Amino acid sequence: MLVLGIETSCDETSAAVVDEGGILSNIIATQQIHQKYGGVVPEFASRAHMRQLLVIIEAALQEAKKNLADVQALAVTYGPGLAGSLLVGLSVCKGIALGLQKPFIGINHLEGHIMATAAKGEAVEYPFICLVASGGHTLLVYAEEPLQYKVIGRTLDDAAGEAFDKVAKILGLGYPGGPQIERAAAKGDANAIAFPRALMENDNLDFSFSGLKTAVYYHVRTLDANSAEQMTPDIAASFQAAVIDVLIEKSLRALELFHCRHLVLAGGVMRNRTLRQAFQLACSEKALKLSLPDPELCTDNAAMIAWAGRMRLLQGQSSSLSLDVAPNLTL
Ligand code: KG4
Ligand code: ZN
């Protein structure tokens, strides 16, 4: 089944084509307009999706060497995300589905992230634990069988990616913060400052990153401007190490508690190379199977949505034209 996927939940406008062979195309346009504001401006995001989405869909079809007439079904993110941005993607999807007289399915963006490694053709072994760490979410999910998810841990405050973005702001680095922190941290000492690791007591699978962010803030406040700049690599590296430690510790704990040997990683934070290496090491030490999406499949993209949609469509599921966006959708 050839599926056209559409993703417009935040500031990436993306369209992808997948079929039984895997990903045929995955075009992602990251909106640049938000950089100068230090965060996503919702109305600008919706308008940029409106301007770009049809062009991106055409590009995805062209790269896949397919025509609209080849599309057998569509999949689109209907939540969680920014309401105005989701509306653009869902409305365009409905229009195309109606025009082609083909089914479409609304997909939970979080399920899309979980399916990112599967989209690349990697065999998924059930049950598995998935750690989703993105700008908006930090979740530990237990997947016992296909399309069944149980959230077993979540952040009580900031998401991991949000912490990267906020700490980058405190350090005067740009947006999005993750890549900037990673760059600065490469030149720093991860043991320079002992930042806190929260909720580490036994059996706790929840996360909290706001205390860590506040600790960085107060640490920077004790420094004058000159030494703060000099210390930036050490602060970034020590902060990054604290986040990675917590994410690994909780993931290993979840695997143990749920008797799983397969860990799937998902979400934008998983682009971080230091984090990827640390997870690879931790899992190989314990002979655990680790699934890590390629970097372009970690951050928001339509291939993961198309793949999750294809799985559901193949089971006979589809959505009705009355489907509304769900900005606060959970798993
Ligand atoms: O999954 P995603 O594209 O969007 C959401 O669904 O939220 O994730 C974006 C998040 C941002 O917070 C960004 O700072 C973070 O992923 N991120 C990173 C890196 N690249 C992106 N965090 C740490 N290191 C990176 N290299
Ligand atoms: Zn996302």
The response to whether residue 301 sits with its C-beta less than 6 Å from ligand 1 reads: no
CA quadruple 106, 146, 4, 179: dihedral sign: positive
How many Å apart are CA 86 and CA 46, to the nearest integer? Answer: 8
Q: Is the CB of 233 within 6 Å of ligand 1?
A: no
Under the banding of pLDDT at 50, 70 and 90, the label for residue 226 is confident
Q: Is the Cβ–Cβ distance between 9 and 26 less than 8 Å?
A: no
Q: What is the mean pLDDT of residues 199-227?
A: 92
Ligand 1 atom at shortest distance from the alpha carbon of 275:
24
- Burial class from Cβ neighbours inside 10 Å (0-12, 13-18, 19+) for residue 141 reads buried
Please determine, for residue 265, whether its predicted confidence score (pLDDT) is greater than 90: yes
202-225 average pLDDT score: 94
Q: Residue 113 Cα, ligand 2 centroid: separation in angstroms?
A: 7
Q: Is the CB of 158 under 6 A from ligand 1?
A: no
Whole-angstrom distance, CA of residue 154 vs CA of residue 139: 4
pLDDT tens profile 122-171: 888 899 999 999 999 999 999 999 999 999 999 999 999 999 999 999 99
Q: Give the pLDDT score at 277.
A: 98
Cα of 67 from ligand 1 centre, angstroms: 32
Burial 149-165 (b: 16+ CB within 10 A, else e): beebbbbebbbbbbbbb
Residue 38 has pLDDT above 90, yes or no: no
Q: Please state the three-class secondary structure of the chain as a single string.
A: CCEEEEECCCCEEEEEEEECCEEEEEEEEECCCCHHHCCCCHHHHHHHHHHHHHHHHHHHHHHCCCCHHHCCEEEEEEECCCHHHHHHHHHHHHHHHHHHCCCEEEEEHHHHHHCHHHHCCCCCCCCEEEEEECCCCEEEEEECCCCCCEEEEEECCCCHHHHHHHHHHHCCCCCCHHHHHHHHHCCCCCCCCCCCCCCCCCCCCCECCHHHHHHHHHHHHCCCHHHHHHHHHHHHHHHHHHHHHHHHHHHHHHHHHCCCCEEEEECHHHHCHHHHHHHHHHHHHCCCEEECCCHHHHCCCHHHHHHHHHHHHHCCCCCCCCCCCCCCCCC
Give the span between the Cα atoms of 244 and 206, in whole angstroms. 14
Evaluated on CA atoms 279, 281, 282, 287, the torsion sign reads positive
Residue 35: pLDDT band (50, 70, 90) is: confident
Show Cβ contacts of residue 193 under 8 Å, excluding neighbours closer than 6 positions: 219, 234, 235, 238
With the most atoms of ligand 1 within 8 angstroms of its CB, the residue from 299, 304, 330, 331 to mutate is: 299
Phi/psi of residue 62, each to 5°? Answer: -65, -45
Give the tens place of pLDDT for each residue, 278-319: 999 999 999 999 999 999 999 999 999 999 999 999 999 999
pLDDT tops 90 at residue 227: no
**Sign of the C-alpha dihedral, residues 192, 38, 42, 272?**
negative
pTM value?
A: 0.95
CA of 224 to the centre of ligand 2 (A): 36
Give dist(CA 59, CA 48) in Å, integer.
16
